[in-house]
Chains A and B, each alone.
Chain A
Amino acid sequence: MAGLGQRRRTGGDLDCEIDMVPIMNMFLVLIPFLLASSSFLNLKAINTSVPVMAETSTPMEQEKKSEVKITATVKLKMDRIILEATSSELSEKKLKEMDAVVKKDNQGQYAYAQLAVALLKVKQLYPKSDTLILVPSDGIIYDAIIKTMDVARTFEGQKLFPNVVISGQVQ
């Protein structure tokens, strides 16, 4: 091995340089092309549906609390958010205890954090629950609906109600 190295050094090979200018030219063309054709806004999606008719389940009062599923209904009004819980497995009184009203703050913004806390409480009581029905008023803008859906799905990394169904108000 040492001999080979010695031979190389004594051989006196010329230092050859690769002409990188054409490669540079190619890169200079490629980079603006790729920059122009790539978009930096990432498009994502939220799965949702409209309510569909389903068979009602029979009440099972004897079921454990952790097995009971409730459906949260969030009514998005112009000045407040109303949270109601519905379930065929619980009494009216128990369901009423989970109800909450979240008013807009001083800046006229919905207090999403308060809504999230109320939803978290429901989720902790009945962890099997996964469906939330969102009922916006006619004048509510789409941006507010998306923000409410975000809050309803996850709060501080905790999964709340992954199935959000959008429903119009019943006249």
Chain B
Amino acid sequence: MALGNSKALRPQEPEPTINITSMMDMFTIIVFFLLFSYASKPDEFAVDKNVDLPESSSSFDYSNSVKLFLSDVHIKIEEDIVAQMKGGKVVGLNPDKPERSSLYQSLKQYKEKQISDAKLVAMETGEEPKSDFHVLFFCDRNLTFKTMNSIIKVAAAAGYPNFQLAVMEK
């Protein structure tokens, strides 16, 4: 009780204020930095967690195309799983008859769609239709060339002889 009385009798102190101007400046800089770094990036997409990309000194930006994710578990084209992998081999892929595989069929479908889209764009713009289509290849760093090569061959047979290999910038 005595303590309460003494508190009440004490002369009133001015309410302390924190100067938040410097903090505001810092936050403004962070927000602008994040907004600009966010805007300068090309479209983002989720890389499969099974795919650990290798590092490279390449500074070339990828262009939007058919994305093929190759891990030791499965092969994904865009968002769809098109084939399963077992022991470094594509399940259901006969190297002598690649056109029968689901991987080939899917790539062929994408190619046809890209060609028809390019024709539509060409009709609108009056320019030559685009023909340099490629596959953006996301491959796990520990996969062997034998596995990669079997898929590269199928992609080339489906009309994609040019690739972009996705890597992480060093």
Q: A interface vs B, CB < 8 Å? A: 20-21, 23-24, 27-28, 30-31, 34-35, 37-39, 41-50, 52, 76, 136-143, 145-147, 149-150, 153-154, 166, 168
Contact = CB atoms under 8 A, between A and B. Distances in A.
Nearest to B46: A39
Given A20-B24, A43-B169, A142 B164 contact: no
Given A20-B21, A166-B152, 5 more contacts: A24-B24, A44-B166, A138-B144, A141-B145, A142-B140
Nearest to B143: A142
Classify the secondary structure of B's interface with A: mixed
B167 A44 contact: yes
A34 B27 CA distance: 12
Given A31-B30, A44-B56, A38 B145 contact: no
Given A46-B165, A48-B163, A142 B156 contact: no
Contact of B136 (A23, A30, A45): A45
Contact of A44 (B30, B61, B145, B153): B61
Interface residues of B, number: 50
Contact of A50 (B37, B56, B136, B152): B152
B2 to A, nearest CB: 37
Interface string B135-152: 010011111111011001
B31 A27 contact: yes
Given A27-B31, A50-B152, A45 B60 contact: yes
B56 A149 contact: yes
Interface in B79-136: 134, 136
Contacts of A166: 152, 163
